[in-house]
Amino acid sequence: MKKFLSLFFFLALALVFVGCGEKEYALELTGAQNVKVGETITLTATTEKPEAVFVWTSSDESKATVSNGVVTGVALGTAVITVSVEGLGEKFLVINVTEFSFALTGDESVKVGKTLTLTATTDKPSPAFTWTSNNAAVATVANGVVTAVAPGTAVITAALAGVGSLTKTINVKPLTTLTVGSTTEAGVNMFGTFWGNNATNADVRTLTFGYGTVSYQKEAARYMVDPTVVKELIIVENPDGSKTYTIEIYQDLLWNDGTGIDAKDYVFAMLLSINPVFATAIGKSLTTTGDIVGSEDYADPALNADGLDELTGVDLVNDYKFSITIAADRFPYYYEFLYYSATPYPMHVIAPNADIAQGTAGAKITGTWTKEALQATVDNDGEGYRYDISVTCGPYNLYDFDASTSTVTLTINDLYKGNYEGQLPDIDNVVFKYVQAATQMQALLNGEIDLIESVSGGNAIISGLEEVAYGNINFTTFSRNGYGLIGFHCDPASGPTSSTAVRQSIAYLINRNLFLETYTRGYGILPNGEYGLAQWMVGASEDEDGVVQGRDSNGDLVALNSYSYDPAKAIELLEADGWNKNATGGAYVQETGAVRYKLDTDGTTLLKLSVPWANTTGNPVSDLIRSQLLPNAMAVGMEIRDQPMDFNTLLYTHYYGADGDGYLLPEDLNGDGEWTVDEIPEYEVEVDGVVVEPDMREYHMVNLGTGFNTGLFEPYYDVSIQYWGWDGGANIQYLYDEEMLDAAERMMRAATDEEYLFAWQQFQYRYNLLLPTLPLYSDMYHAFYSPDLKNYEVTAEWTMTEAILYANIVR
């Protein structure tokens, strides 16, 4: 028992000795495990052991170093950081060394005089970038903004302390200029078609005005809402059958002076174009289609004398939204997209002291709106927006117009947002330079011009194709969306050309097949109506022999009259029309130099079969008419008075007369607000019997070329008495025919392609019979251009003004 107690005592004592021995300590290591190159993190080692000495080591000091727990990232990779304490062992953490992100983005090319912005980005806090250029003579840089000084290359460096540097090689390109040779002289009228129109001015307007709510879109081959302009289109059919189109535009559209474009600019354009005060200010008679609800009353000066009435069919919804309401009786409409087609005008330039406000029933003009104020800003003794469209919103700006040389210079609009695809032009300057048809090809070969937009005529085409074969120039070809013609005035005041028989006689007196072959040399067709090669209706109306057909009054398909050369038929028509007198009133005897006369409706006055013909100088078409038609006409007793002139004079006198005194409008005898055929002015004579033309249009026959609008053929306004003359809108042949108008209206109201085609064929039949114009050719246009012009692609519907946005020049 004593031995057992003794053993227990010693065991207990041993336990006491052990419990009072050295304490065990733990070692801990904490902290982040990621560090950026050049940056530090702090690791924390902890232990309760008194006076512990921490020893820090790195497994790879090329990646990370450590001192007293402070880890410094050296290079991308990993390192094991270990801390040890004598007697306690060690702990470690794997440290990932990463780099700060550093990127340099931006374009790598810029034109001389322009800037581009490079953007340097990093996740390093509070970065301070240092920017340098290795060639300041070519490009300078400040805070990432590169300014192009001269053609060449410069390396732009963005450096970030502790991170590194990045570079971009910037290619500074010279400014490029495309010189377009045009055989149509540019006129002074740059704003709208209020004062007439010609092809060159139309091209200038297309390139300088923009942001229409609809645009022709190449891939779809039709007009659609422009997604660059329109944020949303809402169409609502109203209970009364009308439709309201509410359009919201994007808020980032700008005029080229930096002013924002808003809904007021679109509403202003709609109100301006039919406003009676504006019509008075520019000395024109503006008409309206009447499609927009309330537009006829708004355009009537008797009802809206001060021009400040509300237009009930147009509403200003808010700063970027407006609506258009179309009357119920204007549906269906084959080209319905035109109802929601709108384009802005710069109200702050045209009417700086006016505004647009929403009234109780529609939008209206407020503020200063007078004839005098508009004349001061639009048409003031050769100055104003009519001549200087300084503020526009298209891809180009009007820079200069030299009237002495008919040269128009456009410069790129840096504020342009882009077309429907967001496409921006690359060519910096576009120059329209007048060239004569006879010398245009040589001008291209000499480098005086870069592009001939549309060459017509076989000799010119063949000459160009020869140069293509030699590798001197390039070309593309496309069907003409229009035709060349002889145009007539057809109203009673026009004298002989008011007679259908006289116009038909002229058709029989020119060998149009020979004319076609001589002029186009096989690169064209002979149209017998108002159509061109490119129109789909032509192919759909051809018989098995390729002859275009119309529909007669019974609706039957018949070949259009080809008016084959037949002087005997011309004489027959003239005799039947009463042109059987000589200068003294006796019977006409056909002999050299003898001219036919006829008795006027009064039965006593003799009218001379003399047709004044205006034509342009240096024009091969004029030369062919001169050589083929004039002697043939004289041989049957018809005098055609030949007067060459420049193109702008021709257009102006054709539209308005040499002194701009216009033409006689029909008189509204019954006061119903509409013109009728009985109200068309008659041809007048003075008391002494000498024939005078009270409207002062000196020439009643002209030769022109015409082009149809892309994707559109709507001749209703061209043949309606309500749109009489150029001021009236479109009927510049001054022809009114109820059957032709009815066919044109049914084309407009067609709900299907089949309905449209049927009416088109009826229209062509009647047009072919009455001949307000005599078609001469519809040719295969050829565009010839310098090899320096790249990516230039045109078609009948995708014209130069669209294609130029995708083209570039490499000299």
Ranges in the chain annotated CATH 3.10.105.10: 482-780
Q: Residue 308, exposed/middle/buried by CB under 10 A (0-12, 13-18, 19+)?
A: middle
Identify which of 139, 159, 164, 134 has the alpha carbon closest to the alpha carbon of residue 149: 139
The whole-angstrom separation of Cα 200 and Cα 404 is: 15
**Long-range contact pairs involving 58-64 (C-beta distance under 8 Å, separation at least 24):** 58/82, 63/95, 63/97, 64/35, 64/95, 64/97
The whole-angstrom separation of Cα 34 and Cα 63 is: 12
The CATH class of 177-209+394-479+786-811 is: alpha beta
The CATH class of 102-174 is: mainly beta
pLDDT, residue 809, reads 97
Both tokens assigned to 285:
């008679």
Q: Are 357 and 364 in contact (CB under 8 A)?
A: yes
What is the mean pLDDT for each group of 10 consecutive residues in the chain (811 residues)? 42 42 83 93 94 94 96 95 93 94 95 96 94 98 98 97 93 97 93 86 97 96 97 99 99 99 99 96 84 96 97 98 98 97 98 98 98 96 95 98 96 98 98 94 97 93 96 95 94 90 98 95 94 92 96 97 98 98 93 91 88 92 96 97 89 68 59 63 51 64 90 90 66 89 96 98 98 95 97 95 97 90
pLDDT, residue 685, reads 43
> In this structure, which CATH number among 3.40.50.300, 3.90.76.10, 3.30.420.10, 3.10.50.40 belongs to the domain 214-380?
3.90.76.10
What's the Cα-to-Cα distance from 58 to each of 75, 86, 99, rounded to whole Å?
13, 18, 19
Q: Which residue carries 């060239």 as its tokens?
A: 435
Q: Which residue carries 């609506």 as its tokens?
A: 323
Q: Which residue carries 């007196």 as its tokens?
A: 509
pLDDT, residue 686, reads 44
pLDDT, residue 693, reads 45
* Residue 586: Cβ within 10 Å count: 10
Q: For residue 93, list its beta bridge partners.
A: 81
The whole-angstrom separation of Cα 773 and Cα 722 is: 20
Q: Are 54 and 117 in contact (CB under 8 A)?
A: no
> Fold for domain 25-98?
Immunoglobulin-like (2.60.40)
Q: Which residue carries 């010119």 as its tokens?
A: 460
Q: Residue 773, exposed/middle/buried by CB under 10 A (0-12, 13-18, 19+)?
A: buried
What are the φ and ψ backbone dihedral angles of 218, each rounded to 5 degrees? -60, -50
- For 226-260, the three-class secondary structure string (H helix, E strand, C coil) is CCCCEEEEEEEECCCCCEEEEEEECCCCECCCCCE
pLDDT, residue 18, reads 43
CB environment 745-768: b (16+ within 10 A), e (fewer): bbbbbbeeeeebbbbbbbbbbbbb
Span 482-780 CATH architecture: Roll (3.10)
The whole-angstrom separation of Cα 373 and Cα 353 is: 9
pLDDT, residue 12, reads 45
Ranges in the chain annotated CATH 2.60.40.1080: 25-98, 102-174
Both tokens assigned to 523:
């690169």
pLDDT, residue 56, reads 97
At 163-210, the pLDDT tens digits run 899 999 999 999 999 999 999 999 999 999 888 778 899 999 999 999
Q: Is 510 left (phi over 0), alpha (psi -120 to 50) or beta?
A: beta
At 118-140, the pLDDT tens digits run 999 999 999 999 999 999 999 99
